[in-house]
Amino acid sequence: MRHSAAHVMAAAIQRLFPEAKFGIGPTVDFGFYYDIDLGRAVTPEDMGKIEKEMKKIVKENLEFERSEMKLDEAIAMFDSLNQPYKVELLKDLQEKGTTKISGDEMGDIDPENRDKATVYKLGKFTDLCRGPHVESANKIGFFELFKIAGAYWRGKEDNPQLQRIYGLCFTTQDELDDYKKMLEEAERRDHRKLGVELDLFSFSPLVGSGLPLWSPKGTVLRNVLDTYVWELREDKGYSRVAIPHITKKALYETSGHWAKFSEELFKITTREGHEYALKPMNCPHHTQIFDSKPRSYRDMPQRYAETTMVYRDEQSGELSGLSRVLCITQDDAHVFCRKNQIEQEAYAIWDIIDKFYSTFGFELNVRLSMHDPDKFEKYLGTKEVWEQAEEQLRSMVKKRGVEYVEAKGEAAMYGPKIDFMGKDAIGRMHQVATIQLDFNMPVNFGLACINEQGEKEGVVMIHAAIMGSIERFLSVLIEHYAGAFPVWLSPVQVMILPVADRHIEAAKELALKLKENGVRVETDDSAESVGKKIRNAEKGKNPIMIVFGDKEMESGDLTVRRRGDKDQQVIATNEFIDSILKQIADRV
């Protein structure tokens, strides 16, 4: 329905603006979009006209007509229709067998039909598309156009900027209305807006897009989360390791990344002409730590953990806040184990994931991400090895007793994975953690241990990410909490508000006492009124405020205001400290 709605929108645009040139029009989770080139900006008035025309097409109940033609014929046809973006895609398909466009619904060409293109007609509108579609326009459901954005053609900054028109599409009007309410709430919680308001991170045009700069408060968030993950891992027997941020080309040639991941690598050529790359992932480096000395079965498993930045040359048009960046801080871990240890190690990681995400109130769903047998050239290894690895994961998930779905084509290039999808406070699903089973990279590097019989035995790798990308996880978490973090996580846990200048010195003594007990505290010693100080503290979403005046100086008791609670509490200082330390320790 959503895919068909994109075509209905494009057909409406063509009726209203015959000069329009079309890029791509795929589906997204909530609906669809289409990238178009009108030679000018699309206005809100245009949006209203397009939606009205779409409703006319629905009433006319035009049918979707599918046909196939040779690529040469398709190129000639779209050239005659003055659709240069379609022609470019077709020529890429003809020459390379793929369009290499993120989100492009055409995807890769069918290897058995490399000389054919699939075309759909809706009235006078003709589109290059693999399908499928509903039978006719009146079956596209309930829709509404809701947003215009700029989008560089193929996500590259030096290409023309097109207009991306987004539409919502649902089976019922109630579903559409509910989603619109959720969008309003999501806009209020947008991490890009809250990140600035709460002074967590910023971006600099001199540094570049996709390269966030973390303020002291934002850095506290990163460190507190990373410490929590490490505590959980240390309890399961992990050891910390550290690796450099660059590597010789040879490492990624051996791992297979240079051949299959080369476009996303930042490459470096030294003054002596040697080729290096900024690391886009840590696993190849970690294999070399394992392989640095002989390993006995008694040494197995080896569990390495490291929080470090990796770098990926994402297309500039795809960068978005913390959700899509060029530098990704991974809370990465790799387990090198024997095949008979896979289950116990994977379940230990699963225990960590359950514990970590339950702390934030996330409801987790499980997705088993498998390879796409029709595109096996994207993967390392043999089909037999993939079938073995996938069956082992499937068996483990079933044994764990959880419901799961399987997703073809979502595997990593080196192995299948268990992906955990978390539902946030407003009902959106995010991929959060992952457990990946890798039989292939250890073979490429010849990794082995000596077994009980004194023979070499190949080992297996398990890739484990709890947060995955700290940047992306924080984009989710900021919006999950709408910036109002719980006490244990909040960058400032207590804000002390002296009523007048004569109270500042004693307030700072209290702050020092709290700091000595490990509490993150600030004192607002500005010349503002206490009412203004309270409003500023509430705007900063500080969880606990202490109003400090004559009574507090004389009695030693504290007047405590908690975020979201209109009532104040009077409590003895030591009792307050014990209470907040328990909240922090228990991660309430």
Which residues form the catalytic set?
A: 283, 312, 330, 332, 334, 417, 463
Tokens matching residue 376: 């096996």
- Please tell me what DSSP assigns to residue 280: S
Which residues 6+ apart lie within 8 Å of 387 measured at CB? Answer: none
Tokens matching residue 419: 């992906």
Q: Are 51 and 144 in contact (CB under 8 A)?
A: yes
Amino acid residing at 46? D
- Count other Cβ atoms within 10 Å, centred on residue 195: 24
Rounded to whole angstroms, the Cα distance separating 89 from 24 reads: 10
Rounded to whole angstroms, the Cα distance separating 198 from 148 reads: 27
Tokens matching residue 323: 């959700």
Would you say the C-alpha torsion 529, 532, 536, 541 has a positive or negative sign? positive
Rounded to whole angstroms, the Cα distance separating 503 from 46 reads: 60
Rounded to whole angstroms, the Cα distance separating 388 from 9 reads: 45
- Side-chain-side CA neighbours of residue 353 (13 Å): 26
Rounded to whole angstroms, the Cα distance separating 548 from 482 reads: 28
- Shortest CA distance to 222 belongs to which of 467, 517, 537? 467
Rounded to whole angstroms, the Cα distance separating 495 from 546 reads: 6
Please state, in angstroms and as integers, the Cα–Cα distance from residue 570 to each residue in 502, 531, 544, following that order. Answer: 21, 18, 13
Instruction: Report helix, strand or coil for 566.
Output: coil
Rounded to whole angstroms, the Cα distance separating 588 from 585 reads: 8
Rounded to whole angstroms, the Cα distance separating 488 from 357 reads: 15
Rounded to whole angstroms, the Cα distance separating 568 from 451 reads: 66
Q: Are 104 and 92 in contact (CB under 8 A)?
A: no
Beta strand 544-548 pairing with 494-498? parallel
* Burial of residue 311 (number of CB atoms within 10 Å: 0-12, 13-18, 19+): buried
Tokens matching residue 242: 């550290």
Report the run of H or E that residue 584 belongs to, with start and end: helix 573-586
Q: Taking the mean position of all CA atoms in its chain, how far away is CA 40?
A: 32
